[in-house]
Every structure is written in structure tokens, then in C-alpha cells.
Amino acid sequence: METRELRYFVAVAEELHFGRAAERLGIAQPPLSRAISQLERRLGTPLLTRSSRSVTLTAAGAVLLHEARAALDAVEAAEQRTRRAAVASAGRPTIVLASKAGASNELLAKLLDAYAAEPGAAHVDVALCAPGEQQRLLRTGRADVAILHAPYDDLTGLDVEDLVTETQVVILPPGHPLSASRELRMADLDGIDLPVPRWPGRDGRYADGPGPEVRDHTQLLQLISLGRTYFLAPESARSQLRDDVVAVPVLDARTVTTVVAWPPHSRSQHVAQLVRTALRL
């Protein structure tokens, strides 16, 4: 299979609409339909179920979508890492560290300062990302190392080292009945009269639901202060909160582990040095 075919299929599989997929790819719809049909004939199985009203993935199509995304990420990663290796060989070593915007600020600042003091340290470009974007930057080679949070971030296929494990707090609007509590349990949140926020998926679209659409933590905190939603966050988030929201410990919420992650095939001595620095913090 060619990468062009995989890109075509991923677009159709994510949009579930040939017209929108063609527009996204910048091509006409007929050649896109022919390319998908040719791919199905070559594989000997239908990848999509088509009707006059909808397009859905078959079981085989769902498998190919997963594998195609991974393959396209690998191709992009090879290009990005080759370019970065060329820059490093020219005497300008740089590594890219991805971290979720608004998260782990204190840890990140300590890590950057400690690493900068190491002999032979590379320059570090920090990529502040929307939630869930850090692992994609790792897999596509646009980042060399990342700060992730389990269980919320997908660590599949990455090498990781645990840095810190924390309990969680619930962030509530001031004046909410639960905001005066000294501590809460998850059962207390079951009947809460606020919807959970909705974050964009990999394709940039939002799942259906009653909660507000959110793209970053600044937007999230403002919506909480306006009484439109609430959010569970690691205990360390307290230090970054504004005065117009309230954080209450949730005793039985699952813990959150902050990890440093990197691609398993990485051979960068600078990445290894940064990871060692992170483990000494």
C-alpha cells in the first residue's frame, strides 16, 4: 500500500463522508472513491459500508484505520527525526519537549533549569500542547520527549519513567453547594448538577454531549468560574488556579502519575540525559 492510499482511507474513515474527505484532502470526490474501491479490491475485503445516507467502517476497516494512522505517524516521524539529526550534526543540537499547556508547570520549570545546568546539555524547545496532543507529537517525530499523565494520556508504545504520583481535586465554581466541603468522594460527584467538559478528539471534532466544548485550560477555568462545568485535576493544579474557582480534595479518586516519555527507538544521548535529570528531581 502507498502512503497516498492510506491518507485517503484515513480521511474517509474519520469523516465518514466522501465529500468532506475529498474537501479535506483537496481533491475531487470521484478519484477518491475510485482509490478506496481499488484498495478494497487489493485487500480482498470491504473496508466501508456505504448507503445513500451514511458511510460506516467494517470490522476490517476499523483495523486498517488503526494501522494506517500508526503507519502514517511512522512515516512522518522518520522525516522529522532525519531533519533533526541533520541539524544536530551541523553542530546545533536541539531536543523538543512536549507538555500539556497549563499542566506540571512547577515540575517543568525545575526540569528545564536542572537540565540546562548539565554538561553538554542540548537546547530545549518546549512545545505546549492541547490535552492529548503530546503523545501524537512523540509518535510523529515532532517531539523527542514529553511530560504525560497516566491514566489520562495514552502511553501505548512509548518508553516511560514515573516522576510523581498525586491524588486529585475537583475544581468547582465558587458558591456551588459542594465547594464548601473540606473533602469529597467520587459518589458525591455522581449527582452533580454540572456537565463534564468535552475535549476535541484526534480529528479535532467533539463528541456529542451536553458539556461545553473546551480546547485549553484557560478556557476550562473560565467556564468553571462561570458555573458551566467542573473538572478533576491532580493536586498540584492547586498552585495554578485562579481566585474565582475552588479546589476540593476527592479522597477516593484514582491517582494521577506524571511520567516522562520518549519513543522506544530513540538513540538520542540528549534525550537520555534529560530523562536522567528528570528522575533526579
Asked if the domains 92-161+256-280 and 168-250 are classified in one and the same CATH topology, the answer is yes
Class at the top of the CATH hierarchy for domain 92-161+256-280: alpha beta
User: In whole numbers, what is the pLDDT of the chain averaged over residues?
Assistant: 89
* pLDDT of 26 higher than 70: yes
Tell me how many degrees the CA angle 203-204-210 measures, rounded to the nearest 5. 115
Q: Is there a contact between 198 and 214 (Cβ–Cβ < 8 Å)?
A: yes
Architecture of domain 168-250: 3-Layer(aba) Sandwich (3.40)
pLDDT (0 to 100) of residue 80: 72
Residue the block writes with cell 538520542: 268
- Which residues face 50 on adjacent strands? 55
Domain boundaries, given as residue ranges, for the chain: 3-71, 92-161+256-280, 168-250
Tell me the pTM: 0.70
Which sign does the torsion angle of CA 176, 179, 181, 186 carry? positive
Pairwise CA distance, residues 34 & 109, whole Å = 52
**Strand blocks (E) in the chain:** 48-50, 55-57, 94-100, 123-129, 145-150, 159-166, 168-172, 231-234, 246-250, 256-262
- pLDDT, tens digit (0-9, with 9 covering 90-100), for 249-277: 999 999 999 999 998 888 889 999 999 99
| Cα–Cα distance, 177 to 192 (Å, whole number) | 9
What is the rounded radius of gyration, in angstroms, for the C-alpha atoms of the chain? 22
Cell numbers representing residue 217 in the block: 485550560
57 pLDDT higher than 80: yes
Q: What are the CA-CA distances from residue 72 to residues 67, 75, 226, 250 (Å)?
A: 9, 5, 41, 40
Q: What is the pLDDT of residues 129-187, one digit of tens each?
A: 887 788 888 888 889 999 999 998 889 889 999 999 999 999 999 999 999 999 999 99
Q: What is the CATH number of domain 3-71?
A: 1.10.10.10
Which residues have CB under 8 Å from 12's CB, separation 6+?
Answer: 18, 21, 32, 36, 48, 55
